[in-house]
Amino acid sequence: MDTAIVVFTRDLRVHDNPALHQARSRARRVVPLFVADPALDATKRSPNRARFLAESLAGLREALRERGADLILRAGEPAAEVIRLVSEVKAGAVYLADDVSRYAAARRAALERECARHRIDLVFTPGLTVVAPGDLAPAGGGYYRVFTPYWRAWRAAAWRQRCPPPERLEMPSVTTAGQLPAQPAGSPGLAAGGEQAGRQRFVSWRQRLLVGYDENHDDLAGDQTSRLSAYLRFGCVSPLEVAIGALGRPGGEPFARQLAWRDFFYQVTAAFPDIARKNYRPGAAWHQDQHALDAWQAGQTGIPVVDAGMRQLAAEGFMHNRARMVTASFLTRNLGIDWRHGYRHFDYFLADGDVANNAGNWQWVAGTGNNTRPNRVMNPLRQAQRFDKSGEYVRRYVPELAHLASTAIQAPWKLPSAQRERLGYPGPIVELS
Ligand SMILES: Cc1cc2nc3c(=O)[nH]c(=O)nc-3n(C[C@H](O)[C@H](O)[C@H](O)COP(=O)(O)OP(=O)(O)OC[C@H]3O[C@@H](n4cnc5c(N)ncnc54)[C@H](O)[C@@H]3O)c2cc1C
């Protein structure tokens, strides 16, 4: 075949990119394309992700230019833009990574329709997960609803081969390359996007902290997890390369287990695309409490570990996993507020926010998801005593309390009232049992 188009979506990398690799192997010339769909309203929905995306696209364009090609940028309805470019460059095939959300399913259907109409080959490849959704199935068929058997199957499965990055690419001329999207201002502590930044982070983190991952990943103040999630979300790093690069080293096994959680929620979402809208299984009756929801969102609940998590989210577009669990449990279990409110707030701020992992985890914590212990409630005070013993995490994000000693910082409501009033910090919005 002479010319193929590669549509980049959430696989913004040249290393181990199956869509790019397959197109390059089968066609003489390759046209890399990214289509920004205005229907997604990226900047309004999440300025942090819009910024991370813009930086990642800039890096990808550079990497492609170094290899003799370019990244063609278009804005519009994806299938229509793909077909327009197909006609311009006379492409015979279109390659892209398969995805699981409702949006991705609609995009897939539109592309299938349009490519069939124009007699163009359309090839979906893996690449967004270590193990593609649907590749593993329990004995009775269907998909995995419980994590542990999924993890066992995931670990025992034969994974696909990694694809080498192309050394050179040949690309036909295209009338306009298109402009990179603007970079909106994000949270002040937002990480920089891009394949180079993601790869560097993985290598340096692995060298320093993978070995202690099992022991330290829950330590809130230690902040010793990889912080690769946004790079995985946009495919700046390949999940398969990360898994292979970690396994076989001390700490690799528990770390890979987290990557398997990510794959687990993808295959749940593929089977239940309404995961961000509907309870996966019946849950509690929620109540409305706008005042409590506002306090939770603003990090003003009066429960320091909860407020620290929520303020970290706003400041960095990231929150430590343990804090995500504590803040989510507090919203749904202590305040009785519908997990969908929490999902939407996280979706706005998280650079790593995605349908499968955000909704899958929210439902897990709320007791409506794939949790085998759906009634488990986390007591935020006990969580703070266990995972932020010294109070350092709270000190970092709640400056009003920074001068307090470790016991007082976790439960400032126990201080004498005169001292409490001087803090400029609210009393707890609910009593903790
Ligand atoms: C309420 C709630 C919402 C969440 N929303 C998201 C989200 O939108 N996007 C997202 O990527 N993760 C989400 N998570 C999972 C987890 O908190 C983050 O993946 C993790 O904190 C990212 O930090 P890290 O990269 O340093 O993780 P590490 O501990 O270094 O883990 C490595 C990778 O494994 C994956 N991973 C780790 N934990 C989980 C998990 N529980 N579920 C799925 N994948 C996991 C991530 O891709 C992560 O980058 C959510 C968790 C909760 C409780």
Considering the domain architecture, whether residues 250 and 301 belong to the same structural domain is answered as no
- 208: exposed, middle or buried (Cβ count in 10 Å: 0-12, 13-18, 19+): exposed
Considering the domain architecture, whether residues 222 and 208 belong to the same structural domain is answered as yes
From ligand 1's centre to the CA of 68, what distance in Å?
Answer: 36
**pTM score, whole prediction:** 0.98
Residues 6+ apart with CB under 8 A from 407: none
Considering the domain architecture, whether residues 57 and 145 belong to the same structural domain is answered as no
Considering the domain architecture, whether residues 138 and 124 belong to the same structural domain is answered as no
- 124: exposed, middle or buried (Cβ count in 10 Å: 0-12, 13-18, 19+): middle
Residue 275 near ligand 1, beta carbon < 6 Å:
no
Q: Which of ligand 1's atoms lies nearest the C-alpha of 228? A: 25
The upper half-sphere exposure of residue 100, i.e. CA atoms within 13 Å in the direction of its Cβ, equals 29
Strand locations in 102-249 (E): 121-125
Q: Which of ligand 1's atoms lies nearest the C-alpha of 205? A: 30
The upper half-sphere exposure of residue 222, i.e. CA atoms within 13 Å in the direction of its Cβ, equals 19
Considering the domain architecture, whether residues 253 and 306 belong to the same structural domain is answered as no
CATH of the domain at 65: 3.40.50.620
Residue 329 near ligand 1, beta carbon < 6 Å:
no
The answer as to whether 177 is a domain residue is no
Q: Which of ligand 1's atoms lies nearest the C-alpha of 342? A: 1
The answer as to whether 327 is a domain residue is yes
Residue 101 near ligand 1, beta carbon < 6 Å:
no
Taking Cα atoms as reference points, which of 227, 239, 183, 167 lies closest to residue 201? Answer: 227
CATH of the domain at 230: 1.25.40.80
Residue 265 near ligand 1, beta carbon < 6 Å:
yes
Residue bearing the CA closest to ligand 1, atom 31: 258
Residues 6+ apart with CB under 8 A from 6: 19, 20, 23, 30, 31, 32, 33, 94, 95, 96
From ligand 1's centre to the CA of 229, what distance in Å?
Answer: 6
Residue 261 near ligand 1, beta carbon < 6 Å:
yes
| Three-state SS at 433 | coil
Residue 216 near ligand 1, beta carbon < 6 Å:
no
In whole angstroms, what separates CA 197 from the centre of its chain? Answer: 16
The answer as to whether 103 is a domain residue is yes
Considering the domain architecture, whether residues 43 and 152 belong to the same structural domain is answered as no
The answer as to whether 259 is a domain residue is yes
Residue 353 near ligand 1, beta carbon < 6 Å:
yes
DSSP 211: G
From ligand 1's centre to the CA of 261, what distance in Å?
Answer: 8
Considering the domain architecture, whether residues 124 and 142 belong to the same structural domain is answered as no
Residue bearing the CA closest to ligand 1, atom 4: 358
Domain end position, chosen among 128, 143, 178: 128
Please count the structural domains in the chain: 3
Quick count: other Cβ atoms within 10 Å of Cβ 287? 10
The answer as to whether 192 is a domain residue is no
State which residues form the domain around 414: 290-422
Residue 21 near ligand 1, beta carbon < 6 Å:
no
The answer as to whether 391 is a domain residue is yes
Q: Which helix (H) or strand (E) holds 95?
A: strand 93-97
The answer as to whether 388 is a domain residue is yes
Q: Which of ligand 1's atoms lies nearest the C-alpha of 352? A: 9
Residue 309 near ligand 1, beta carbon < 6 Å:
no
Per-residue pLDDT for the chain (433 aa), expressed as one digit of tens each?
899 999 999 999 999 999 999 999 999 999 999 999 999 988 899 999 999 999 999 999 999 999 999 999 999 999 999 999 999 999 999 999 999 999 999 999 999 999 999 999 999 999 999 999 999 999 999 999 999 999 999 999 999 999 999 999 999 999 999 999 999 999 999 999 999 999 999 999 999 999 999 999 999 999 999 999 999 999 999 999 999 999 999 999 999 999 999 999 999 999 999 999 999 998 879 999 999 999 999 999 999 999 999 999 999 999 999 999 999 999 999 999 999 999 999 999 999 999 999 999 999 999 999 988 888 889 999 999 999 999 999 999 999 999 999 999 999 999 999 999 999 999 999 998 7
Q: Please list the residues that pair with 96 across neighbouring strands.
A: 7, 124
Considering the domain architecture, whether residues 84 and 144 belong to the same structural domain is answered as no
From ligand 1's centre to the CA of 147, what distance in Å?
Answer: 15
CATH of the domain at 392: 1.10.579.10
